[in-house]
Structure 1
Amino acid sequence: MTKTELKDFLNEKVIQYNNPKFIESDPIQIPHQYNLKEDIEISGFLTSTIAWGNRKMIIKNANRMMELMGNSPFDFVMNHKEHHLEKIDGFVHRTFNSKDLTYFIKALNHIYTNHNGLEKVFSKYSNESSTQPAIHKLKQLFFEKSHLQRTEKHISDPLKGSAAKRINMFLRWMVRDDTTGVDFGIWKSLSPTQLSCPLDVHSGNVARKLGLIARKQNDAKALAELDKNLRELDANDPVKYDFALFGLGVFEGF
């Protein structure tokens, strides 16, 4: 199809999937339980961290994380005592276990106490056209405290070749104001123009079939290719097409 036909087709799919019904089966429902900005950020960050595998299991385990933090994630992160972390023992989602979650809670406290919060880190270290340098910097700051080496694998680094799907999804949630009530748009210091599409097996397969990616691996180079092509379709809101690519892949088996 022509570029105009492709754009029209994808725009129709965005309208089809970028609406409140999408929330019902998506992990974004977890941060939608909260009103406080910092609760939305922290619940969204932790949920996106475990967002791989079966979606029902992701949602179940993300809700479990929130319960373990008394359904007040920001208050828990900032005010927990060491004995409060004992209740986390036994938590597991695939390879993300209670030791990882315990460190993430301590690291988030470090980010909010010493680096003015997640939004500040991303706004400070993103460049005019991309948030990818800020993801790299977040990982450095996040692991400034003593930690197990194994826990580092749970934050991807785009400067080491990763497509960083989960953090890019989290950034879409925080930055993009879609007016339909799905994405939050609570980070006003960043622009949707800087965002990258969350690239996974579903969106990658659809993107290849539509000629948006030629590269076979779902890595940082493929993401750069996808970003370039999506920006040509809509420079102001390129990651709205995540809804189209994901919906076509997951719900339509395109």
Structure 2
Amino acid sequence: MVGLTSGISRRALAEILEQVYRQYHQRDYVHPDPLEFLYAWEDVQEREIVGLVASCLAYGRVVQILKSVSAVLEKIGPSPHRFITRSTLKTMQQTFSGFRHRFADGDQMAVLLYGAGRVVRQFGSLEKGLAAGLTPDRKNLLPALAHFFGQLTRGRRSPGHLLPDPGKTSACKRLHLYLRWMVRADRVDPGGWRCVAPSELIVPLDTHMHTVGRRLGFTHRLQADMRTALEVTAGFKAICAEDPVRFDFSLTRLGIRSDLNMDSLPRRQP
């Protein structure tokens, strides 16, 4: 990990981040964010499926993301859990015929949800499917995520770009975003999963968090890949070891919303 921001103490940086957190970690700042779809589902077994859909589609223009998530949930019906556990792959392919979200088509969405249904039928829930890959001596969640990915994608067909492979060098932003939503529980993240502690989460590294990480001196790397995600996470762990992604939502508002900016954050001196 690169050292803390030059010219500012760890305590001072923590106070700045807490101020940003208090100001922007609010439901009022959620829209437009696919996270908002999870709030309608009290049952965790339903919410974890909605969260998987919303996170896997969380790339591209936000207007299109919200439109695509809405379209999928409308086709799934009132019980996502029932849909994925009782539908055949052929039925799902028919259901999503004509669907498209950037690089993903209806067949890939069907394969993703069929894989999710297979995991739920085998383990009881998506959470238990992830938990099956956890080991007591784990250094991080990457092996468990690789196992989870393998369970979701088992078969001849692939969900393609919808689901990033943790076994490769990608930062897997959408998978870590999904975990943030399902593991953390506060006024923004609805939570529900207990198999993983917030302290184990990895920062969902996108363009905005990469900029933040470089600005705060947590990384010098130009590639927004998994190595960089781990460096940025280590930087936040030095500030908040029990919850390193605590500031993710509030800090990304500074880059996502046109009425906010990053000027409130200190810049690392050369």
TM-score (norm 2): 0.87
For the residue of structure 2 that corresponds to 1:249, the secondary structure is helix
Cα gap change, 1:158/1:86 in structure 2, threshold over 3 Å: closer, same or farther? closer
Deviation for aligned residue 1:16:
1.7
Q: Report if the CA contact (8 A) 2:130-2:145 is conserved.
A: yes
Q: Report if the CA contact (8 A) 2:112-2:153 is conserved.
A: no
Choose between structure 1 and 2: higher helix proportion. Answer: 1
Question: 106, 112, 121: which is aligned to 2:114?
Answer: 106
CA deviation profile, 1:213-250 (whole Å, cap 9, x unmatched): 21111001101111111111001111011123312222
How far, CA to CA, are the matches of 1:222 and 1:49 in structure 2?
A: 21
For the residue of structure 1 that corresponds to 2:222, the secondary structure is coil
CA deviation profile, 1:163-216 (whole Å, cap 9, x unmatched): 1100100000000122x2x21221112100110111001111122112122111
Question: 74, 80, 86: which is aligned to 1:73?
Answer: 80
Cα gap change, 1:65/1:83 in structure 2, threshold over 3 Å: closer, same or farther? same
CA-based RMSD of the aligned residues comes to 1.7
Deviation for aligned residue 1:65:
0.3
1:240 has 2:246 as partner: yes
Of structures 1 and 2, the one with the larger relative CO (CA 8 A, separation 6+) is 2
Cα gap change, 1:84/1:95 in structure 2, threshold over 3 Å: closer, same or farther? closer
1:2 has 2:38 as partner: no
Q: Report if the CA contact (8 A) 1:202-1:246 is conserved.
A: yes
How far, CA to CA, are the matches of 2:146 and 2:195 in structure 1?
A: 18
How far, CA to CA, are the matches of 2:48 and 2:220 in structure 1?
A: 34
Q: Report if the CA contact (8 A) 2:203-2:230 is conserved.
A: no
Q: Report if the CA contact (8 A) 1:206-1:248 is conserved.
A: no
Larger-Rg structure: 2
Residue 128 of structure 2: aligned partner: 120
Q: Report if the CA contact (8 A) 1:143-1:152 is conserved.
A: no
CA deviation profile, 1:136-181 (whole Å, cap 9, x unmatched): 1111111212214xx3443223332111100100000000122x2x
Residue 140 of structure 2: aligned partner: 130
Percent of paired sites with the same residue: 28
Unaligned runs of 5+ in 2: 1-7, 263-270
Deviation for aligned residue 1:46:
0.9
Residue 221 of structure 1: aligned partner: 227
Q: Report if the CA contact (8 A) 2:171-2:225 is conserved.
A: yes
Deviation for aligned residue 1:9:
0.9
* Correspondences of 1:125-204 after superposition (within 5 Å): 125-127=133-135, 128-148=138-158, 151-178=159-186, 180=187, 182-204=188-210
How far, CA to CA, are the matches of 1:207 and 1:84 in structure 2?
A: 40
Residue 95 of structure 1: aligned partner: 103
Deviates more, 1:9-18 or 1:168-177: 9-18
Deviation for aligned residue 1:129:
4.6
Deviates more, 1:217-226 or 1:207-216: 207-216
How far, CA to CA, are the matches of 1:187 and 1:43 in structure 2?
A: 14
1:48 has 2:55 as partner: yes
Deviates more, 1:114-123 or 1:125-134: 125-134
Q: Report if the CA contact (8 A) 1:126-1:132 is conserved.
A: no
Question: 22, 28, 40: which is aligned to 2:29?
Answer: 22
Aligned length: 250
Q: Report if the CA contact (8 A) 2:104-2:161 is conserved.
A: no
How far, CA to CA, are the matches of 2:156 and 2:76 in structure 1?
A: 22
Deviation for aligned residue 1:124:
2.8
1:230 has 2:240 as partner: no
How far, CA to CA, are the matches of 1:153 and 1:92 in structure 2?
A: 12
How far, CA to CA, are the matches of 1:85 and 1:71 in structure 2?
A: 19
Deviation for aligned residue 1:94:
0.5
Deviation for aligned residue 1:11:
1.1
